[in-house]
Structure 1
Amino acid sequence: MQFLFDRPACQNLRKSLRREWLETNGLGDYASSTLVCCHTRKYHGLFVTELARPAGRHVLLSTLEESLLMADREFFFSCRKHPGVYYPRGHEYMQSAELGCLPRFRYRFGDVFVTRELMLLPGRHVLLVRYEAAVTSPETPPLTLRLKPLLACRNMHAVRHADGSPAVAGSPTLFGVSVQPDPALPPLFLQVDGTSAFRSAPDWYYAAEYLAEQERGFDFQEDLLMPGVFDIALEPGKPVYFTAATESLQREHARHALDALWQSERERRLAAEKAAQTLQGQLCREGERFLCRTPSLAPEEAGPPVRPDAVVAGYHWFGAWGRDTLIALPGLTFFAGRREAGEHILARMGAAVKNGLVPNVFSLDGDHAYNCVDASLWYVWAVQMLLKTAPDRLDLVKQHCWPAIRTIIEAYRGGKAPHISPDAEGFLNVGDATTQLTWMDAAVHGRPVTPRHGQPVEISALWFNALAFADDLARRLDIPHWQDSREQRARMRLVFQHRHWISDPLGDYLADVWREEGQDRRVRPNQLFAVSLPYPILEEDFYASVVSRVRQCLLTPYGLRTLAPSAAEYRPLYEGGPESRDSAYHQGTVWPWLLGAYGDALLRAAWDEEGAVRDTLQTLTPLFSRHLREAGIGSLSEIFDGDPPHLPDGCIAQAWSVAECQRLLVTLQKAAPECYARWESRLPQGD
């Protein structure tokens, strides 16, 4: 899909600064900014690269100050926010922005049009920025493109401030300059293809402001380093290229090979875009952004195709998280035609199991964080989804997945996994009042916002599902001496019903957590997993009541609320500083990823599948139409406010939002293909 924004849409800063674009390369690198290329986040940058040492993403090239020199006049067409002013005001020259296979921006200066496009090369830490001029008058004077690189050269979570030391000058190289303001970071090569001159003029640009960081209660001002000025002859119809990279592109510049590189990658993307004209095609293409290769496995000389071994949980600030990876993996791979990538990541995840736990957070040095109890159970579910889409992969599962599944089951069953102790009925007691071990893991002042120690409903459901699948898999693989759990699971169903079921005049439902001292009776979406998983722990007669209560209290046009509005703890808005936002994160905030489970549970409970599909699609129309043109353009946000108008927030592109919505759409289309086709054909376009 192409997302085109005209001149009025671009020049309306109130809206355009809330719309963001994202470009990635399969290595964890990204380029990102707002629609008018005025940064509003410390995470924005034209070249943000994932490094092994120092570990993490680093904003190297923040932005470019761009101007066009023509007839003794200089027209600035970049844009920044400084205290009390936007300068330069390049958005005033902006004619259009087009986000599709690559970001494309068009500006007008009288009879001269300048187009800026950019891309990150797959499998290489290389940014290409392409400029091309077009004129409508034969008497146009000579044109010069002036570029001033503004560098941050810091970890993406920080901001840079001038410390009184002189700005670092660059070292001249063929076709440009090499700069290294921080010796802990790699040199940054800034080079130009075309007739150009570089003039060293090191300086500071003070107090660039990031409005989103100001809203979020963080340091929002930054000083940027400017090493010098590029002046480039810009002939109409003849493109020029600016490159930023952690490697010298001297060979490509010398051989004028950049245009061939550009055209080859552009053609590949256009072919992918042609195949992504449907909604599912768009989400499938977006899903590719989250599949990446870790830095330690990505040498500079590597090129496409990049074999992913990890999932980025969300852009801009999340890395590889175990739980997020396993929930997102089926929608990103098995349901999106990328089975081999999914299998490779599953094998890597299984190899990382320790004491029955899958890491919650992965570290490049192998010192992973093992501090969640559900990631291992989601691993089992991800294997189930692989076999659902590819039943013939049983041999691969036996070789690469069964050892991990067996380790998980035996560790959880035997009480050998940290934070977990089984009770006499076979259920898992997890954590204590000071821990946050499930996906609702926000904490304020070191205390969980949503204490869920005891027996959280989805942990019991996932554990039951894992036991049943392991029994089935052991039979299919002819595993000797396997401890079958059929009799135990029959008892667990009865006990689960007794512990979690709540009869209520407004509609019966499941308690969110059971402890010996009683039930947590808050209405939350976690109860859906007792219905949605392949082996549901809840008896069939009770499905409809659970789904009905969730639909009544939690379903919105953008996903499911994490808490019913009737609860005293409900937080309608996700806003303010870190403490305020963490307090709202799972206390009413809407999450799109839960729609995957909602769709599975809905179809399992519905007596009229087509009617259920029709109503659900109609409810979710805003998520799959209007929202694709806001926040992260073309992608799905991490969260939304609990109350209307349900403004998006959190990450602008979240892996499990995209993945589970992709899986949801596949599920609904399969259940009611004609209904789905009618709905998709009527999706509103534009704002």
Structure 2
Amino acid sequence: MAFTTRSLPWDKTSHSRELLLEREWLVTNGLGGFASGTISGAITRRYHGLLIAALPAPHGRMVMWSHVSEFLRFGDDDVISLGAEERAGGQLNLGAADYLHEFRLENGLPVWTYHVRDLVLEKRILMLHLQNTVHVIYRILEGEKRPRLELRPAFFFRHYESPVNEGLAAPYRLSAVEDRYEISDAHSRLPPLRIKLAIDPAQFTVLPQIIHQVVYRIEQSRGYAYEGNLWSPGFFYVDMHERNMAALIGSTEEWDIINVLAPEGATAAEEERRAKMLDDALPEARREFPAELVFAGDQFIITPGGRAEETARAHAAGDEVRTVIAGYHWFTDWGRDTMISLEGLALVSGRCLEAGYILRTFAHYVRDGLIPNMFPDREKEGLYHTADATLWFFHALSRYLHYTDDR
């Protein structure tokens, strides 16, 4: 059910193609991890990718799945590209501009609609809450002549702040059992990226390829390294002649967790979670633009995936850990920002229980009368170099008592 919708209809004859490279989307998982990119599908920031996983320290937030190239094959020599990528030397493939009909945020989640001949294809991206798992879901809404869907994922395992021109791990390793595939880096202690096409029968062709000199144009504009390579093990494909839906799933979770929810179940679970968010919010925040703010605010309240010891300590005491990401893509949780935003993010939206978790999380770290200014990614302890964050803590506590009378 769509409670809120914000739409960007696309007309290639009247819109600049640059718009598709400038407008960005973001989906989060409640752990500090996220998926993000441009409407076109091109990756233009070092922080873009389909799975930036929030892993325990010392890993931190890692780019585990960078990109997917999407093709509709109607015949041997009749192939349509829906994605986008920019390569060195001015090579810009922007197939999305020719076939995109609409991009919209539905309940805060990104949805693309493509018109290819008589075919209407919808794509959705969602992350499972409190999991480092992403579903990229394709659904045919209309069309008589059905193509073969081909998806080529590409990877470059690195910390999300690392320069894009760092060398690829040599070599990545691909392993497969039935319909389950794993990509691993033999030289690190990272968990493997587990990936599958959630449809039966699905096929995978092993055809390794290095995608050279991908251009990250936003990094270039900021004066940072902006050309880097990606590695792809091959491509998935499935004939859509007798089916309407296929989904590519990527995750760092174990397979028994990944397989709990099929794409339909994952979609239903996230819709239910978002409906409950609106039910819990103040009545005036349950529709139209205020409801959009409720969904947007949800992206910032997290259980910090990188601090497993902190979560274990809280659970042992019958409590929970929550904190607030100061901003995406690169910020972590900052004490001052958390306390300033607590009322709008957690109290007005009816998340008073989580507001209490947030206050107790920071209270645990009080040192010499100070709460942490920030928690660096990859670290387990905060940094103490602010005075006013503690004053904002008392303000946030006052607002919490006003809303809850929890004494």
1:183 counterpart SS class: coil
Q: Which residue identity lines up with residue 226 of structure 1 in the other structure?
A: S
- Length, aligned pairs only: 384
Amino acid at match of 1:314: G
TM-superposed CA distance for 1:23, in Å, is: 0.5
Q: CA deviation at 1:335?
A: 2.3
Q: Which has the higher strand share?
A: 2
Q: Deviations over 1:33-89 (max 9, x none)?
A: 112222221111111111113342111101101101112221111101112021252
- Aligned counterpart for 1:219 among listed residues 206, 219, 225: 225
For residues 278 and 154 of structure 2, what CA distance do their matches in structure 1 show? 32
2:360 corresponds to which residue? 347
Amino acid at match of 2:328: Y
Equivalent residue number for residue 93 of structure 1: 99
Q: How much does 1:143 deviate?
A: 2.2
Q: How many angstroms apart in 1 are the aligned matches of 2:258 and 2:290?
A: 37
Q: Aligned partners of 1:383, 1:17: CA distance in 2, in Å? A: 42
Match of 2:282 in 1: none
Pick one of 21, 25, 29 that aligns with 1:25. Answer: 29
Greater Cα shift, 63-72 or 7-16: 7-16
- What are the equivalent positions in structure 2 for 1:270-285 lying under 5 Å apart? 276-285=286-295
Q: Please give the secondary structure, in 2, of the residue aligned with 1:147.
A: strand
Which amino acid counterpart does residue 238 of structure 2 have in structure 1? I
Structure 1 160/202 Cα, relative in aligned 2: closer, same or farther at 3 Å?
farther
Correspondence for 2:202:
196
Query: What does residue 117 of structure 1 align with?
Result: 124
Contact persistence 1:322–1:359 (CA under 8 A): yes
- Contact residue 208 and residue 231 of structure 2 kept, 8 A: yes
Counterpart pick for 1:356 among 362, 365, 369: 369
2:44: which partner in 1? 40
**Post-superposition shift, 1:197?**
1.2
Instruction: Tell me the distance in 2 between the aligned counterparts of 1:216 and 1:14.
Output: 18
- Matched to 1:175, the amino acid is D
Q: Which amino acid aligns with 1:149?
A: P
Report matched runs for 1:348-387 at 5 Å: 348-362=361-375, 366-387=380-401
1:262 pairs with 2:274: no
Shift of residue 307 of structure 1? Answer: 5.7
Aligned to 2:302: 292
Structure 1: distance between partners of 2:19 and 2:257: 42
What are the ranges of 5 or more consecutive residues in structure 1 without an aligned counterpart?
396-687
* 1:5 alignment counterpart: 8
Structure 1 pair 239–33 and aligned structure 2 pair: CA distance change class (3 A): same
* Compared CA separation, residues 292 and 105, structure 1 to 2 (3 A): same
Following the alignment from structure 2 to structure 1, what is the Cα–Cα distance between the partners of residues 288 and 169?
53
1:50 matched to 2:65 = no
What is the TM-score of this pair, normalised by structure 2? 0.86
Residue 328 (structure 1) aligned with residue 331 (structure 2): no
In structure 2, the residue matched to 1:79 is 84
Structure 2 counterpart SS, 1:315: coil
Aligned mate of 2:63, from 59, 64, 71: 59
Aligned CA distance change for structure 1 residues 387 and 180 (closer, same or farther; 3 Å) = same
1:174 shift after superposition: 2.8
Residue 205 of structure 1 aligns with which residue?
A: 211
Structure 1 residues 186 and 4: alpha-carbon distance in aligned structure 2, compared to 1, 3 A threshold? same
| Secondary structure, aligned partner of 1:240 | strand
Match in the other structure for 2:134:
127
What is the CA distance between 1:346 and its match in structure 2?
A: 0.5
Give the distance between the partners of 2:344 and 2:57, measured in 1 at CA. 31
Is the 1:178–1:187 Cα contact (8 Å) retained in structure 2? yes
Which runs of at least 4 in structure 1 moved beyond 6 Å after TM superposition? Answer: none
Q: In structure 2, which of residues 245, 249, 274 is the aligned counterpart of residue 243 of structure 1?
A: 249
Following superposition, the deviation at residue 389 of structure 1 comes to 2.4
CA distance in 1, matches of 2:51, 2:24: 15
Q: TM-score, normalised on structure 1?
A: 0.53
Specify the SS of the correspondent of 1:314: coil
Identity %: 27
Give the residue type in structure 1 aligned to 2:331.
Answer: F
- Deviation larger for 29-38 or 3-12: 3-12
Shift, 1:257, TM fit? 3.5
Q: Is the 8 A contact 2:137 2:263 kept in 1?
A: no
CA 1:381–1:164: 2 relative to 1, 3 Å: closer
Structure 1 CA distance, aligned partners of 2:229 and 2:38?
19
SS in 1 for 2:63: strand
Q: Which structure is higher in RCO with an 8 Å CA cutoff and minimum separation 6?
A: 2
2: CA distance, partners of 1:236 / 1:162: 43
> Structure 2, unaligned stretches of length 5 or more?
280-284
Residue-by-residue CA offset, 1:301-348 (whole Å, 9 max, x unaligned) = x9xxx9651111100000011111111112111222111111111111
> Deviation string for 1:481-535 (max 9, x for gaps)?
xxxxxxxxxxxxxxxxxxxxxxxxxxxxxxxxxxxxxxxxxxxxxxxxxxxxxxx
Helix, strand or coil: the match of 2:358?
Answer: helix
> Cα RMSD (Å) of the superposition?
2.6
Amino acid at match of 2:189: A
- The CA distance in 2 between the partners of 1:281 and 1:266, in whole Å, is 14
Say which structure is richer in helix: 1
Alignment partners' CA distance in 2, 1:165 and 1:347: 41
1:67 counterpart letter in structure 2: F
- Residue matched to 1:314: 327
Say whether the 8 Å CA contact 2:168–2:230 is kept in structure 1. Answer: no
How far did 1:135 drift?
3.8
Q: How does 1:502-513 map to 2 (within 5 A)?
A: none
Report the 3-state secondary structure (helix = DSSP H, G, I; strand = E; otherwise coil) of the residue aligned with 1:242. Answer: strand
Distance 1:256 1:345 in 2: 29
Q: Secondary structure at the match of 1:152?
A: coil
Name the counterpart of 1:136.
143
